[in-house]
Each structure stands twice: as structure tokens, then as C-alpha cells.
């Protein structure tokens, strides 16, 4: 294991993917390692807002200016990841007029194009807005799909010679002679794509420079190298609504606070968020009051949310950072700016750079600045072209009408496929005929699922992130098995089975926080369907011990017995697969 | 709920329509009464209450005086300011609407924020039904109940057309999949859904948007559909020369040409036109023979009973007069059923304006509305309030009944039939319940009414769809499928003892006759005979 590459980037979130793309395009030999699938950490757990900068226009004008600049860049280079929804900062009667004016002035100072509209006009644009919303500032917020964005960056990097290694946690940072010389990774046994190595093996990747882009986990990687990186992870909840109550990003125009944004994202709306410091980015409580707070507070802006169907909730951890000694008490006051930590200068440990803080909207700018820094450290000269070169999928507009005709897709299906795949739509859809729909809720066809399997391997959660399959209102109840079936041709049965379970579990995880009303009914229907048709409540094939077939009843005995009470209960027992009173053995004692 | 307007610049002060009120009144509460039993919706004059306060206030009793006055004022102002927009609704915001709010008010300071009222419209007056997708669990009961999906592999089914397509919509997305034109609007999916997804409303709205925006207005298909949808227009022309029309419409070479040019299948026989329409008969008769201010019904005869089968209307009159009802026959146009099925929502709305205005007036005079056609009654009860926001439309929905249903509620039919002693000569019928009767919970009413009547033997031929679904089976490209859907019914009719068919729906009757050659009667005709009315 003595192969040496130019740069190892640790972390497959937006920053890491951005950096590896940038470096690869500059011609450096680069490897990206990620412990889960791409966007596994914070990137995959954000609300999908493409900032116009409006949110920071009062408190942090530097960030605001960067946001509006990068906002415009992403509309160009990542058109298929961005939906140009526009955004509103709305003012309710109890919100401060002074702050509204400050916000307006701030936006103007940061060159964010704004328009002030009255409440009537705001409701004309968004009919579900509360009737007492007084006025609003309209600005170019948007929605961005972080999964698609990261995947496109990684794909572009790979096209330029980079190696992308997922499901490969860093187990050690190699330090020799007071210098970082690479990392050791472990290839996990999960059902992910393992391009180069067998599961369970470790590998040393030696590199001239290591970039630690692990966000909230930066402290862990830093620790392996023996340096302190004082990230202050802060959790925030996001709640996903089944349909779009609004088609515009709605922000509450007030200084700061929880639950002040609604982002229309694909078929759903995402409500956000809270801001609470946690000790461990992997282990923190997910509390119901946070979800309640989202719905209650944001109903003040969009009352329909109160009764609307909630699909799930998830939590993300912000990689907040502040230079040692700043000592900010409230995490909401910690700057959203990013910091580049050169451990050579800082800790006298050359060969590694850590990047922390920042936000998805400015990922490309951060990547450019860290790539500049790495090139300088390596004495390598190359120019950055990531602001101009479109990402794969955004080279041209998808031709919606032609997709329908050519591939026989129904119009909403063609529209969604086109929006997800962008300029790749032709190539992807061309592969399969017939091309049935695998996920009905999100209109994902077999061709798209197969394309994602081709890229992501047997990790169905990675397939989900690429395609949105199983992210609709049934939350996988009607499609996890269909998606898994698409693996069956290529992968052995146990892998398929594990992949299916993993996807189903993941879908269940978020639904736990939405178990009331319609989603509770959906979850019960899903469970019953899976329990009765796939034995998910106790699949004998997944049990350790032998199945005690003797515990099953023999069915109705004879017509004579039909009148007795016993035969009635025997029938019931048969119907639920032999799980009558005392036969815990059949379901493995679960 | 704000609905389709004739013109996009409607939008008056009556917009503060209470949505939850609409719902309860419209769909879940089709029972009797309703006048004054709920709070008046803010700013929206209740039908009858404002126009005929003497009747409705006394009935309701609990309506505060102040509200009545307010309502009347609102009605007056509303009426004046929108005089040339003929009872258009409140709150439809125009795309170019300028300063008025989407929620209908012109001054938010006067609005009560507690009385939250989103106007569920996309710009341009289209309904935004995305939230209806919240109720769908993907269980697919609708798809398995869809008669078209059963025979048409190309049709993706009601779940796709309804909740799935709506959920995938975005504000700026206006293209609707063409397959919506294959939905026959039988509305069985509404009945099948265990979770009250407003499927047919979603289909109707999507179809309307498709036809309005995406269908080529000069295409043969559009023109053919428009003619089929506007049956009343053709029928009223034809009945000026009924005999000639009946002959000409079924004249071989003419039919050949119709199929080639218009896509109307030559296999089908056009219904004969009556030499005297129901209304002509009514006029010649001098109107009602019974006057009774306590028992009044307003008869919505629809087009078919008027132009083609006036005997059904006459039977209704004699049965109702037998029970001492004063029958009113208000001016009326098409119920809109064929227009909904063809996405001609503007046509339907225009006709609805006349119907609602006249029927609400009759309700104000103490009448309930009855229809002899189950599709007409379903339209007035369900589709009207779901799709339009005409003044008084909720009251109309609450006061509308199918004719036999109404008698079964208010009269001792069983006793009367028993007393009348049954038929002299035994008759046997093969009864088919129309899908639209099924949706109103009426699929068993004819069988139940006549099962104990001596001399009548009636057999239910099952719960399949007849396949014609109004205009669906009148399209050349749908003819084969229509007959395939109907095959089960034909077979069961042949197996049934009776040689006479029976159904409440005129187009089901056409299909039954077409498939079996049987004579088809309406239950009211049998009731007239059994009661000796």
C-alpha cells in the first residue's frame, strides 16, 4: 500500500465533493474518502435552501455577499439541482418594523435584488400565507438538492480522474516525521459500492496533502492527527411535509429564532429549524418538542401546516466553528463563516488542512479557496474553472416534450425525470424499454433506478438519494421491495435482502417522528403489508434458530367442529401466521 | 372554495368564503335540512337566507339578526358590483388582478386572522388540490375499482390521475398528462377510496386544465367532445323536428360519415327524440295539478327526460302528485355531467349559473330539488360545490335528492305499494345500478323498493359498470372498451329472468339496450304502474 496520490479529501459532503472536483479539474491526483454514502453527514440533513444571502444581510454581511454571488453561480453550473423558487421574508404584525427596514437595507448593501410587496401581493403569490402577514421582501432564495449536487460534483471529479471511495471510514491519520502523509481507511462490509477492495480490509492511502472536510466530525479526524479542532456541533430539526403548501421559500422576518423557514423542496416542503449545541455529532436526542415547535410556530406563517400531513423529521448537525477564545454562548450567534485551518501554521503539523463552518450555498467558493491553498502548499499551479464549468447534468436543458414522446413517459413522470437527470436524461432513459415506474409517489422509473445502482452499487439509500425513490408519501411502503428487486439481477440474494432492510429501516427512522394522523395510518398500512406479505414482523429466513413448525395450527379440523368456539380461534391463529398466544418461538422471540 | 369563473377578472367582496363550511355542507352532509343549521359563512350570503329571508330565517331560527342584515347587504353590494358577471363567486383572483387579495378581501385590516381562509387556487383561477394528496395511502383500492383501467392497459388509473399527479405538480407546472381524457368520470374511485381522497374532483379539475390549455381547439376530438358534452344544444335543435332528426341521425350513410369525420361510432343508435318534450307537455297540461305549500318539489328533469324520454318525467309528476306534492318545473339547463367528463368546465359553469339561480329560488319557496337522473342529482350534490363557487350552491347541494330516494325518505312507500296490491300481470326486470347512483348510496334502492311488491320480480345484475359512462362510449376510439366493460352486465342481464331492463341513468339505459336489445324502463315508471298513480 505505498501508492501516493496528491491529495486525500476526507468527507463526502458538499465541501469535500466540491474540493475533490476542483482539485481533479486542476489536474491533481485526488481521492475522496467518505465513511457513509455521499452526503452522509450534515449535507444530507439540511433543508435544501439555496441562500440569497437575505438571512445574513443584517448579522453577517460578508456571508450574505458570498451567498448571493454563489447563488447566481449555482443557477448556472448546477441548474438541474436548483429550483428557482424565489423567496419571501414575511413580516407579521408582532414582528419589528425596525428590523424589517434593517433587513431591507442590509440586502441592498449586499447587492441582493429585493422587492417590497404588501400582504395582498404576498398572498397573491402564495395563497396559503396567513392573512395577517403585513408585507414581505421578495428576493432570489431558491431550493437546491444537496444529494444531486454532491453526486454531480463527485461524478465530475471521477470523470477527471479522481477516485471516490464511500463506506470507507478513516481509521487513522498517518503522521511521519511531524508531517501528515496520508490516511488509513477501512472498507466496510455494508452493502455499499466497493470499487477497489474487499469488505473488511484496511488500506493506507498516502498523499502529499490531506484535506479534512468532515464538518461536524472535523474534531475526530483532527484528533487522529493529534491536533485540536474545536468544532461546536449544533443540531437542528427539519420536518418534511407531504405536499407543497408554498412554492416559494418563506422566511420569517425577525432577528433570530427557531422555526422560521419553509423551503419547498421537490414534492415536499421542509420546515426548519432549531439550533442547539450538542456534545457528539453522532449521538444526540431527537426530541418531539422540536417537531411540535416547527409545526406550531410556522403555522403562524402558513396556517395550513397545522392540519397538513407530515411525512417525517430529521436532524442535522451544523459544523459551527469559532476561533479559540471567542467564547460565544448562544450557538445562533456563532458565525456562519467558514475557516480554513492550516495545521502547518497553526499546530506545526504540515500536510493537512481542515475546513470548518460555512454553508452549502457557498460550498464551491470554499472549495475554490481550499484548493488554492492546497495547490500553494504543493507548489502546483493551475486555475480554477468550477464557477464556469457546468456539472454533469447541467450542460443543457432537458427536453421535456421530447422525453415524453421518445420514451413514452407520462408528462409528470417525464417532467420529474427531466428535472432530476437534467441533460443526462436521454442517456439514462434510453437504457430501458419497457421502463415501468418503480416508485409511484416520486415517479421514478426503472431506468433511473438502474442508473443509480450503476453509480452507487447495492446501497439502496444511495440510490434513494440519487433518484428520490421511496421519498414520497408512502415512505417506501410500496416500493422498497420493488427497488430491491432491481438489484436482484446483479447481486446475490443476501445482499439484496440486507439492502432492502436497510432502506426500509431508514424510511422508518424518520417516520417515527410523524406518527399521528395520516402518516400513522400510512405507517400501519405499510407495516401490515410488509408483515403479511414479506414476513417483516418475523421472517423465518432471518431467524437464527429453526422454525418451530409444530407451533402452527393445523387449520380447521373438520366441518363438524365448525360450530365450536375453538375452531374460531384456530382460524384466527392461522391468519396471523401462527403467532397465537404462546408461540413466541415462531417469531424468534422478538 | 373558489372555482372556475367565466372570466378571469372576477373577484369581489364576497370572497371570505369559509372553506371548512363548504366541505361539511358539500360532501359529508348530503342529508336533508341544512338551512340555518350552521353558522353563516363570513361575508357569504347563504342561499335563500338573503334572497328569501322570510322563509329561511324562520326555519333556521338561530340565525342572528345582525348576520342576516349583513348578509343581505353583502348580497346587494355583491349583486350590484358584479351584475354583469352573473353570480360569480368571491375570491377568484385574476392573474392580472392588481391590488385585490387572493383571499378575496380588499383590505386585510378588516380580516379576522383567526378566520383563516386560504384560497386554494393556482394563479388564473385553477384549483390547487395538492393537499388532497395528503389523504392518499397508496392502497390502490381506486385502481382496482376503475372499470377503464381494467380493460385499458394504457390507462394509468385514478391513483395516478388524482393524488399522484397532483402531488407532483408545482405552481408553474400546467401540463396534465393526456391520459386524463381516458377517464370516463364514472366516479367509482370516489366510492372505493377508504380515505376520502377527492379523486373525481382532482380528475375533473385536471381534465378541465388539460382541455383548456393543452387540447387543440380545432381538433376533431375537441369539436366532437364539445358536441357530445353539449347534448342539450343538439337535442333542443333536434326536437324541433323530432321525427326527421331521429331518422336522420340514424341514417346509415350519415352514421358512416359521422364515424369517419367526427369519431362517433356507427354501431351506436342515437336515441329517438320525443315528438312532444316534457316541458311542452307540462306547459300544455297547465303545470301542476296539486298546490301544496307544505310539500313542494322542484323537478330537475335534465336533458334526456325532456327531449328523449318524457314518459319518465310524466311518471315522476304523477307519482309525486299521488303523494300530494306540488311539483315545480323551474327553468333549467344541462346538469353539466357530460361537460365535466369532457373537461368543458366553462360550459358547465355557464349552465350551472342558470340551474343554481333557478333552483335556489325554488328552494327559497320551500321546495326540495329532485332529479330522475342519478347523474344529474350527483352533479348538483357533489360536483357543483366541488368545482364552482356560485352563490347558493351549497344550499342547493344540501337540498337535492334523487326522486325515488326522496320518496323513500319522506313517504311510506312500502305501505302505499302494499295497499295498491301490486301488478295485475307479473313482470320481471333486470336492474342495473348506475355508478353515479352507487356514489350516492342508492345502488339498492330500486331492488329494495320493489322486492315485496306482488307481481314484480327484480334482479340486480351486479355491481359492474355499464361501460358507457355518459359520453365515453360515444367516442369511436373508446367504443370497443366501452363494450368490454359492459360485457359483464350484458351477460348478467341475459342470465336474469326478466326481459326488461331497468336503471335510473339514461346513458346506462342506452348501453343496456344496445348490448341486449331489451326495452329499458326507469323505476319511476314502474312505481307509477304499481301505485296506479
- Give Cα separations from B466 to A87, B75, B188 (angstroms): 51, 44, 12
Minimum CA–CA partner of B210 in chain A: A411
Contact A95, A256 (CB under 8 A): no
Question: Which of B105, B116, B170 comes nearest A130 by C-beta?
Answer: B116
Q: How confident is the model at residue B123 (pLDDT cuts 50, 70, 90)?
A: low
- Are B290 and B198 members of one domain? no
Quick check: B453 pLDDT over 50?
yes
Question: If interface means Cβ-Cβ distance under 8 Å, which residues of chain A face chain B?
Answer: 119-121, 123-124, 127-128, 130-132, 134, 242-245, 247, 264, 267, 303-304, 308-309, 410-412, 415-416, 440-443, 472-474, 477-478, 518, 521-522, 525
Query: Are the beta carbons of A473 and B133 separated by less than 8 Å?
Result: yes
d(CA A93, CA A252): 12
Lowest mean pLDDT among A166-175, B262-271, B494-503: B262-271
Question: Which of A309, A412, A474 comes nearest B177 by C-beta?
Answer: A412
Q: How confident is the model at residue A543 (pLDDT cuts 50, 70, 90)?
A: low
CATH of the domain at B321: 1.20.1050
d(CA A438, CA A479): 7
Quick check: A299 pLDDT over 60?
yes
Which residues of chain A make contact with B175, given a CB cutoff of 8 A? 411, 415
In a domain? residue B5: no
In a domain? residue B229: no
Q: What percent of chain B has pLDDT over 90?
A: 60
- Are B148 and B185 members of one domain? yes
Contact A548, A585 (CB under 8 A): yes
As a whole number, mean pLDDT of residues B517-530 equals 96
Query: Are the beta carbons of B118 and A440 separated by less than 8 Å?
Result: no
- Are B524 and B432 members of one domain? yes
- Are B379 and B394 members of one domain? yes
Longest distance between any two alpha carbons in chain B, whole Å: 73
Quick check: B124 pLDDT over 90?
no
Containing B486, the helix (H) or strand (E) segment is helix B479-495
In a domain? residue B6: no
Instruction: Please report where in the chains the cell 326522486 appears, as a residue.
Output: B403
In a domain? residue B77: yes
Q: Residue A433 has what pLDDT?
A: 83
Query: Are the beta carbons of A410 and B160 separated by less than 8 Å?
Result: yes
Quick check: B55 pLDDT over 90?
no
Q: What percent of chain A has pLDDT over 90?
A: 67
Split into its structural domains, chain B has a count of 5
Query: Are the beta carbons of B108 and A120 separated by less than 8 Å?
Result: yes
Task: Taking the CA atoms of B264, B268, B271 and B272 in sequence, report the sign of the dihedral they define.
Answer: positive
CA distance A497 to chain B (A): 24
Q: Is A338 helix (H, G, I), strand (E, B) or coil?
A: strand
- Are B263 and B157 members of one domain? no
Contact A64, A43 (CB under 8 A): no
As a whole number, mean pLDDT of residues B350-365 equals 96
As a whole number, mean pLDDT of residues A446-465 equals 92
Range of the domain at B142: 130-213
Interface of B with A in 136-175 (CB under 8 A): 136-139, 156, 159-160, 164-165, 167-173, 175
- Are B293 and B169 members of one domain? no
Lowest mean pLDDT among A129-143, A573-587, B380-394, B462-476: A573-587
Containing B405, the helix (H) or strand (E) segment is helix B403-410
In a domain? residue B221: no
- Are B94 and B188 members of one domain? no
In sequence order, what E strands does B88-141 have? none
Q: Which of A324, A370, A344, A378 is nearest to A225 (CA)?
A: A344
**Which tens digit of pLDDT belongs to each residue from B459-506?**
999 999 999 998 999 999 999 999 999 999 999 999 999 999 999 999
As a whole number, mean pLDDT of residues B495-518 equals 95
d(CA A95, CA A320): 27
**Which tens digit of pLDDT belongs to each residue from A99-154?**
999 999 999 999 999 999 999 999 999 999 999 999 999 999 999 999 999 999 99
- Are B422 and B326 members of one domain? no
**Which tens digit of pLDDT belongs to each residue from A346-372?**
999 999 999 998 889 999 999 999 999
CATH of the domain at B450: 3.40.50
In a domain? residue B218: no
Q: How confident is the model at residue A190 (pLDDT cuts 50, 70, 90)?
A: low
**Which tens digit of pLDDT belongs to each residue from B186-223?**
999 999 999 999 999 999 999 998 998 888 888 889 99
Query: Are the beta carbons of B103 and A474 separated by less than 8 Å?
Result: no
Task: Extract the C-alpha cell encoding B294.
Answer: 307544505
The answer for residues whose C-beta is within 8 angstroms of residue A535's C-beta and 6 or more apart is A541, A577
Quick check: A585 pLDDT over 80?
no
In a domain? residue B286: yes
Lowest mean pLDDT among A389-403, A560-574, B141-155: A560-574
Q: Residue B173 has what pLDDT?
A: 67
To the nearest 10 degrees (0 to 180), the angle between helices B242-249 and B252-262 is 70
**Which tens digit of pLDDT belongs to each residue from B415-452?**
999 999 999 999 999 999 999 999 999 999 999 999 99
CA distance B113 to chain A (A): 6
- CA A320 and chain centroid, separation: 18
Q: Which of A80, A59, A56, A81 is nearest to A69 (CA)?
A: A56
Query: Are the beta carbons of A440 and B159 separated by less than 8 Å?
Result: yes
CATH of the domain at B163: 1.10.1060.10
Interface test with A, best of B20, B135, B167, B195 (most A CBs within 10 A): B167
- CA B426 and chain centroid, separation: 34
Angle ∠(A219,A224,A230) on CA atoms, nearest 5: 20
The answer for residues whose C-beta is within 8 angstroms of residue B98's C-beta and 6 or more apart is none
- Last residue within a domain, chosen from B252, B271, B290: B271
Query: Are the beta carbons of A411 and B176 separated by less than 8 Å?
Result: yes
- Give Cα separations from A437 to A426, A453, A503, B166 (angstroms): 17, 16, 18, 17
pTM value is 0.81
Q: Residue B89 has what pLDDT?
A: 35
Contact B511, B493 (CB under 8 A): no
- Name the β-bridge partners of A179: A176
In a domain? residue B258: yes
- ipTM rounded to 2 decimals: 0.83
Interface of B with A in 177-216 (CB under 8 A): 177-179, 195
- Are B396 and B334 members of one domain? yes
Contact A19, A48 (CB under 8 A): no
Quick check: A236 pLDDT over 50?
yes
Q: Residue B374 has what pLDDT?
A: 97
Q: Residue B56 has what pLDDT?
A: 25
Higher pLDDT, A515 or B247: A515
Quick check: A322 pLDDT over 60?
yes
d(CA B5, CA B2): 9
- Are B391 and B324 members of one domain? yes
Which residues of chain B make contact with A415, given a CB cutoff of 8 A? 168, 173, 175
Quick check: B331 pLDDT over 50?
yes
Quick check: B79 pLDDT over 50?
no
- Are B351 and B427 members of one domain? no
Quick check: B18 pLDDT over 50?
no
The answer for residues whose C-beta is within 8 angstroms of residue A411's C-beta and 6 or more apart is A400, A404, B175, B176, B177, B178
- Are B67 and B139 members of one domain? no
Amino acid at each position: 500500500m505505498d501508492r501516493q496520490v496528491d491529495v486525500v479529501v476526507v468527507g463526502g459532503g458538499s465541501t469535500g465533493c466540491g474540493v475533490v472536483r476542483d482539485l481533479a479539474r486542476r489536474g491533481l491526483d485526488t481521492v475522496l474518502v467518505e465513511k457513509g454514502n455521499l452526503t452522509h453527514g450534515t449535507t444530507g440533513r439540511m433543508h435544501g435552501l439555496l441562500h440569497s444571502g437575505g438571512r445574513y444581510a443584517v448579522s453577517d454581511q460578508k456571508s450574505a455577499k458570498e451567498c448571493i454571488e454563489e447563488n447566481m453561480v449555482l443557477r448556472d453550473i448546477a441548474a438541474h439541482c436548483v429550483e428557482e423558487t424565489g423567496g419571501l421574508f414575511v413580516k407579521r404584525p408582532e414582528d419589528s418594523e425596525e428590523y424589517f427596514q434593517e433587513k431591507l437595507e442590509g440586502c441592498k448593501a449586499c447587492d441582493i435584488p429585493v422587492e417590497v410587496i404588501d400582504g395582498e401581493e404576498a398572498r397573491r403569490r402564495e395563497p396559503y400565507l396567513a392573512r395577517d402577514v403585513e408585507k414581505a421582501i421578495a428576493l432570489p432564495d431558491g431550493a437546491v438538492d444537496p444529494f444531486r449536487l454532491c453526486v454531480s460534483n463527485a461524478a465530475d471529479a471521477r470523470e477527471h480522474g479522481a477516485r471516490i471511495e464511500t463506506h470507507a471510514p478513516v481509521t487513522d491519520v498517518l503522521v511521519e516525521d511531524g508531517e501528515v502523509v496520508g490516511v488509513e481507511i477501512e472498507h466496510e462490509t455494508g452493502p455499499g459500492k466497493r470499487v477497489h477492495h474487499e469488505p473488511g480490509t484496511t488500506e493506507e492511502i498516502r498523499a502529499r496533502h490531506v484535506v479534512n472536510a468532515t464538518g461536524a466530525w472535523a474534531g475526530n479526524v483532527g484528533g487522529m492527527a493529534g491536533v485540536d479542532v474545536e468544532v461546536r456541533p449544533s443540531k437542528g430539526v427539519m420536518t418534511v411535509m407531504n405536499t407543497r403548501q408554498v412554492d416559494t421559500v418563506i422566511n420569517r422576518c425577525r432577528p433570530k429564532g427557531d422555526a422560521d423557514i419553509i423551503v419547498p423542496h421537490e414534492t415536499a416542503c421542509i420546515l426548519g429549524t432549531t439550533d442547539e449545541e450538542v456534545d457528539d455529532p453522532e449521538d444526540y436526542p431527537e426530541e418531539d418538542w422540536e417537531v411540535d415547535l416547527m409545526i406550531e410556530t410556522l403555522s403562524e406563517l402558513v396556517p395550513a401546516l397545522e392540519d397538513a400531513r407530515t411525512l417525517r423529521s430529521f436532524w442535522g448537525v451544523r459544523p459551527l466553528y469559532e476561533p479559540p477564545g471567542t467564547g460565544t454562548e448562544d450557538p445562533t450567534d456563532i458565525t456562519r463563516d467558514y475557516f480554513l485551518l492550516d495545521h502547518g501554521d497553526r499546530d506545526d503539523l504540515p500536510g493537512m488542512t481542515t475546513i470548518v463552518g460555512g454553508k452549502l450555498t457557498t460550498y464551491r467558493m470554499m472549495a475554490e479557496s481550499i484548493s488554492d491553498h492546497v495547490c500553494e502548499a504543493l507548489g502546483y499551479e493551475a486555475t480554477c474553472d468550477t464557477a464556469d464549468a457546468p456539472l454533469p447534468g447541467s450542460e443543457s436543458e432537458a427536453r421535456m416534450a421530447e422525453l415524453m414522446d421518445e420514451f413514452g413517459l407520462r408528462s409528470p413522470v417525464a417532467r420529474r425525470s427531466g428535472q432530476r437527470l437534467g441533460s443526462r436524461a436521454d442517456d439514462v432513459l434510453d437504457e430501458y424499454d419497457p421502463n415501468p415506474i418503480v416508485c409511484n409517489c416520486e415517479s421514478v422509473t426503472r431506468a433511473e433506478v438502474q442508473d443509480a445502482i450503476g453509480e452507487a452499487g447495492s446501497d439502496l439509500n444511495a440510490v434513494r438519494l440519487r433518484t428520490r425513490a421511496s421519498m414520497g408519501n408512502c415512505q417506501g411502503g410500496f416500493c422498497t421491495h420493488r427497488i430491491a428487486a432491481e438489484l436482484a439481477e446483479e447481486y446475490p440474494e443476501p445482499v439484496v435482502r440486507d439492502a432492502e432492510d436497510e432502506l426500509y429501516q431508514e424510511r422508518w427512522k424518520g417516520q417515527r417522528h410523524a406518527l399521528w394522523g395520516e402518516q400513522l395510518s400510512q405507517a400501519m398500512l405499510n407495516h401490515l403489508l410488509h408483515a403479511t406479505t414479506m414476513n417483516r414482523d418475523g421472517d423465518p429466513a432471518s431467524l437464527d434458530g429453526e422454525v418451530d413448525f409444530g407451533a402452527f395450527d393445523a387449520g380447521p379440523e373438520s366441518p363438524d367442529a365448525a360450530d365450536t368456539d375453538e375452531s374460531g380461534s384456530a382460524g384466527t391463529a392461522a391468519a396471523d401466521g401462527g403467532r397465537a398466544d404462546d408461540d413466541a418461538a415462531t417469531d424468534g422471540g422478538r | 372554495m373558489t372555482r372556475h369563473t367565466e372570466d378571469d377578472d372576477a373577484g369581489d367582496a364576497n370572497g371570505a368564503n369559509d372553506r371548512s363550511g363548504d366541505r361539511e355542507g358539500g360532501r359529508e352532509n348530503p342529508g336533508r335540512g341544512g338551512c340555518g343549521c350552521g353558522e353563516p359563512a363570513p361575508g357569504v350570503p347563504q342561499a335563500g337566507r338573503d334572497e328569501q329571508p322570510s322563509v329561511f330565517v324562520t326555519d333556521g331560527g338561530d340565525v342572528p339578526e345582525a348576520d342576516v342584515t349583513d348578509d343581505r347587504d353583502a348580497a346587494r353590494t355583491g349583486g350590484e358590483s358584479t351584475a354583469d358577471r352573473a353570480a360569480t363567486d368571491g375570491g377568484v383572483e385574476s392573474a392580472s388582478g392588481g391590488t385585490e387579495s387572493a383571499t378575496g378581501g380588499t383590505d386585510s385590516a378588516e380580516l379576522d386572522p383567526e378566520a383563516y381562509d386560504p384560497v386554494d387556487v393556482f394563479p388564473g383561477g385553477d384549483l390547487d388540490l395538492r393537499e388532497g394528496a395528503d389523504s392518499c395511502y397508496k392502497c390502490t383500492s381506486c385502481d382496482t375499482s376503475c372499470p377503464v383501467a381494467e380493460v385499458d392497459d394504457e390507462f394509468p388509473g385514478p391513483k395516478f390521475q388524482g393524488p399522484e399527479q397532483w402531488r407532483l405538480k408545482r405552481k408553474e407546472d400546467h401540463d396534465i398528462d393526456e391520459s386524463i381524457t381516458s377517464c370516463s368520470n364514472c366516479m367509482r374511485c370516489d366510492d372505493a377510496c377508504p380515505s376520502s381522497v377527492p379523486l373525481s374532483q382532482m380528475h375533473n379539475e385536471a381534465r378541465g386544465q388539460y382541455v383548456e390549455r393543452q387540447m387543440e381547439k380545432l381538433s376533431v376530438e375537441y369539436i366532437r367532445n364539445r358536441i357530445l358534452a353539449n347534448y342539450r344544444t343538439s337535442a333542443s335543435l333536434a326536437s324541433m323536428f323530432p321525427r326527421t332528426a331521429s331518422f336522420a341521425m340514424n341514417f346509415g350513410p350519415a352514421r358512416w360519415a359521422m364515424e369517419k369525420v367526427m369519431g362517433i361510432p356507427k354501431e351506436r343508435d342515437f336515441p329517438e327524440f320525443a315528438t312532444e318534450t316534457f316541458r311542452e307537455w307540462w306547459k300544455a297540461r297547465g303545470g301542476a295539478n296539486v298546490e301544496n305549500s307544505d310539500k313542494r318539489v322542484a323537478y330537475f328533469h335534465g336533458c334526456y327526460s325532456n327531449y328523449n324520454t318524457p314518459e319518465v318525467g310524466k311518471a315522476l309528476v304523477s307519482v309525486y302528485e299521488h303523494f300530494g306534492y306540488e311539483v315545480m318545473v323551474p327553468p333549467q339547463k344541462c346538469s353539466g355531467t357530460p361537460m365535466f367528463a369532457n373537461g368543458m368546465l366553462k360550459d358547465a359553469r355557464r349552465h350551472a349559473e342558470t340551474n343554481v339561480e333557478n333552483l335556489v329560488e325554488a328552494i327559497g319557496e320551500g321546495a326540495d330539488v329532485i332529479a330522475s337522473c342519478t347523474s344529474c342529482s350527483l352533479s348538483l350534490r357533489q360536483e357543483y360545490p366541488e368545482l364552482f363557487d356560485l352563490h347558493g350552491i351549497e344550499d342547493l347541494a344540501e337540498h337535492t335528492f334523487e326522486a325515488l330516494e326522496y320518496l323513500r325518505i319522506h313517504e311510506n312507500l312500502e305501505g302505499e305499494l302494499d295497499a295498491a296490491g301490486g301488478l295485475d300481470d307479473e313482470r320481471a326486470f333486470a336492474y342495473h345500478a348506475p355508478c353515479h347512483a352507487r356514489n350516492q348510496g342508492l345502488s339498492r334502492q330500486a331492488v329494495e323498493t320493489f322486492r315485496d311488491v306482488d307481481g314484480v320480480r327484480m334482479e340486480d345484475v351486479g355491481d359492474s359498470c355499464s361501460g358507457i359512462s355518459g359520453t365515453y362510449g360515444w367516442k369511436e376510439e373508446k367504443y370497443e372498451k366501452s363494450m368490454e366493460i359492459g360485457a359483464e352486465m350484458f351477460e348478467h342481464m341475459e342470465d336474469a329472468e326478466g326481459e326488461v331492463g331497468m336503471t335510473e341513468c339514461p346513458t346506462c339505459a342506452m348501453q343496456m339496450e344496445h348490448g341486449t336489445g331489451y326495452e329499458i324502463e326507469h323505476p319511476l315508471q314502474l312505481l307509477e304502474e304499481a301505485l296506479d298513480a
